[in-house]
Amino acid sequence: MNKQSSQRKPLIDENGDVRELTAEDFALFKPSSEIPELADLVRRGRPPMAEDARKQRVTMYLDRDVLERLKADGKGWQTRANALLRKAAGL
């Protein structure tokens, strides 16, 4: 440990509160990918799915009133449309 880092104020005080970080603190930070203990924790996105389990993008035209009705319930309308199509197809 060098002289500068031994004189640095602790990040957490005796009450467990984190102090305001300084530019010097940020200069010492490393990406988590460079810390061996954390390297396995850095995963982004969903795990890959098997090819036959993936959904397929399609383009289709819907009547305006049908689309408005699907979107009326908010986010997730594509998932709800998929569920309705599965039910209609007997799947």
pLDDT in tens, 44-65: 777 888 888 888 889 999 999 9
- Under DSSP, the state recorded for 28 is H
Q: What does pTM read for this prediction?
A: 0.46
Helix (H, G, I), strand (E, B) or coil at 59: coil
Residue 37 pLDDT exceeds 70:
yes
pLDDT of 79 = 93
pLDDT of 33 = 76
Host H or E run for residue 80:
helix 77-88
The answer to whether residues 38 and 29 touch, using CB atoms and an 8 Å cutoff, is: no
Residue 1 pLDDT exceeds 50:
no
